[in-house]
Amino acid sequence: MEREALIARIEAGMSAGTVPCQDCLVTWFGEGRGHRCVVCEEPITSPDTEVECDLPGGGTVYFHNACFDLWHAALPA
Ligand SMILES: [Zn+2]
């Protein structure tokens, strides 16, 4: 997916509440194991890097590494 499309999905998802608006409490980077990315909704499979994110409000979401970087840059300061 193109960078601009991903950023649009992140912004729309934050408004809709489907994408977190708060930074992770804990993150782990590892090999993709097929979890669905919260940003692009595609499965994260090896050799892609999976970012596992525990949210401050509870719950765990997963990102592609590239989706995570865009999401992290879009978080409110
Ligand atoms: Zn993704």
Q: 35-74 pLDDT, tens per residue?
A: 999 999 999 999 999 999 999 999 999 999 999 999 999 9
With CA atoms as reference, report the closest residue to 62 among 29, 31, 38, 30: 38
Distance CA(2)–CA(66), nearest Å, equals: 11
CA 23 / ligand 1 centre spacing (Å): 17
Distance CA(31)–CA(64), nearest Å, equals: 10
CA 62 / ligand 1 centre spacing (Å): 8
Distance CA(29)–CA(19), nearest Å, equals: 19
Q: What is the pLDDT of residue 1?
A: 82
CA 7 / ligand 1 centre spacing (Å): 11
**Residues 6+ positions from 66 with CB-CB distance below 8 Å:** 6
CA 4 / ligand 1 centre spacing (Å): 13
The radius of gyration of the chain's CA atoms, rounded to the nearest angstrom, is 11
Q: What is the pLDDT of residue 46?
A: 96
- Estimate to the nearest angstrom the gap between the alpha carbon of 9 and the chain centroid: 11
